[in-house]
Each structure stands twice: as C-alpha cells, then as structure tokens.
Chain A
C-alpha cells in the first residue's frame, strides 16, 4: 500500500482536478454583495448557452400551468427569483465540471447525494436561523474532497471501498484508516486552494468529525444534514446506511427531531425539484 496522504501530497495533486468554474467562484465569494454581482452573473450566464438553457428549462417547468413560454433570461430571473437562478447556475456548473471516472465511483450518485445534503442543510439552517443559502452551498460542496481522491488516488480509493465493505463502516472512517485523511479534510485543503470563504473550508473539513474540530454552525449543520439525508433515504444507493451522528452537533444547533420531522415532506419535495431541475 502506498504511503498515507499528507497535506503536501494532496496539495501536489490538486491540478489533477479541473479548475473551479469562474462562475462558481463568483457566486460563492459574493453572497453578501448581491447588487454588484447581478450584472456580472447575468453576463456570465449569457455567455454560456448551457446555463441559459438550464435556467429557461427550469423556468418553463415552473410555469408549466401558464400559457406563455419563458424565452428570455431576464423573464426567467423575474419568474424564478435571483436566489433560485444563482442556485441553479451553481449546481449546473459544478455538475458539468466534475464528472470524474474511476472504478467504484458513480458521479451521478455523488451529485444526487450532494443535492440531498444541500437541501437538508438549507432547511436546517432556516430552522435554526442561520443563512439558508450559505448552508445549502456548503452542503453542495461538502464532499468535493472525494472528487480529488478518486481522480488523484484511484487505487487508494478502491482500498477505501474494500475496507468500508469489510467493516460495514462509514466511508470517512475507512479513509482515515487507509489514507490517514478523510475526504472532509482533503476537501478543506482543496477549498482553501480555491480560495473559498472560510465558512466553506470549515464546514467541509469538519463534516464527519464535528467534535474533533472547533468550528461554528455550518460544520454542524452539514454534519447533521448528512445524517438526515441518509435517514430520509434521499440521494442514497441501496447499500447506504446512516452514518454516525455527533449528539453535540445536534444539541449545539438546538434542533429536536420532532421539530425537524415537520419538515420531512418539504425536504423530500425540494430534493425532487433539484433533481428535476438538473435533469437527473
């Protein structure tokens, strides 16, 4: 077996992954700065026929009851709202850019799981009065470390899968045993290189071990969201199982399951909507 991963080996292989699309960097870096970014984002979308088509498709699906067809980007933004459009652009650009091929890795299952955690994180954030959009985006990105692992270390990834199978354990546990780092830790190195805001670096880093880190809300939200997505069986595969939950993370957010249970239907519907919008 090759030596365990270190921060340096991870850093040396980041170029194995395609670059983060510019439009994604714009959206993630500029959430607080909306007015100035609208024009720039519209410009970027207009320059990208795939993004335009995706947004028009979603707008026409949403307006299916009405008679008029939505034919222009500005009409679609008016109908869907800028938040939804930003979300669609982010999902479309990420899914399109990151489709790694490796034995044992299914990109569609990967993105479905990411949508599921994003939807759960958004709803949990709203329940706990944290930023819904930031939480959704952190959920969308929480497993990016896995993309780098499958591309740059495919043999080690296969060993992780075998270990996970043998022990019926969480993937993160198997990664720490086989690689020395889990995909959250790898993802946080990647997020740092991509210069994503610190909230994302932390949320990605700690999502499997929130107790081992000392991060604030978003790491806890993504951790609990992931458990919830498995519990609700969204974005899962037949052999999926609910991963370990940090009781401390749940309590820290002040969430109670009976309260969250009132949102189960909404979570399922939003997940379905995200898959429909992305053509999954």
Chain B
C-alpha cells in the first residue's frame, strides 16, 4: 500500500509505526534515526525525554480520485481563508507556502 508522511503528536503515535525522520532532543542530539519502528519501550523513552511530535509514514488507503477531490477542497479552503488579501504580496507568499505544504501532505 502507498504510504503517507504525517506529523503526529506523541499521544497518537502507535506501536508498529515507522519513523520517517530522525527524532532530536531540544539540544539537537539525535535520539532515534529514521526507519526506527516504534514499540512500547521506544515510545515510553520518547515521552520521558519530552518529545511531543513525531514524523511517521502511515498507510494511505485513498484512491487517486479521492486524493484529487481532497486537493480541490483544500485549495478552495485556502483561497477562501486568504480572500481578503489578493493584492498583498506578503500574504500571497504565505498562501503559496501553505498551498505547497498542503499539496505535499495530501499527495
């Protein structure tokens, strides 16, 4: 099955998930490398070290049509959120950053 990369809060992390990115502590030291499988001991350790979020790969059951529909809904919503600022270059930059982020996250 296709995988999808997501950031999850530690409360939603589950055993069996695979880390898509390394986990670092506040000082920047690597605690776990990408590819590590989460088990109970790993999760408890991360929690004790104050790690709040993880990047993991999750199975993605959506069809191509569903993905396309989701993308269209997302674009419409982002454009609505920014609709007061069509002529503002600064906020257009932010809107482009959000659109790019969402396209990557949804595709």
Residues of A within 8 A of B (CB): 61-67, 78-81, 83-84, 168, 227-228, 230-233, 236, 240-242, 244-245, 247, 250, 257-258, 260-261, 264-266, 268-270, 272-273, 276-277
Contact = CB atoms under 8 A, between A and B. Distances in A.
Contacts of A269: 7-9, 52-53
B94 A231 contact: yes
Interface residues of B, number: 41
Question: Which 7 pairs show the lowest CB-CB distances between chains A and B?
Answer: A65-B43, A273-B9, A265-B7, A65-B40, A269-B53, A261-B97, A269-B7
B2 to A, nearest CB: 19
B94 A61 contact: no
Contact of A276 (B9, B82, B84): B9
A58 to B, nearest CB: 8
Contacts of A277: 11
Contacts of B98: 231-232, 261, 264
A276 B44 contact: no
Contacts of B77: 233
B83 A241 contact: yes
A54 B6 CA distance: 27
- Most chain B CB inside 10 Å of its own CB: which residue of A61, A240, A260, A264: A264
B66 to A, nearest CB: 20
A67 B78 CA distance: 42
A67 B98 CA distance: 39
A270 B85 contact: no
A7 to B, nearest CB: 30
B105 interface: yes
A133 B77 CA distance: 31
Given A231-B81, A233-B81, A245 B90 contact: yes
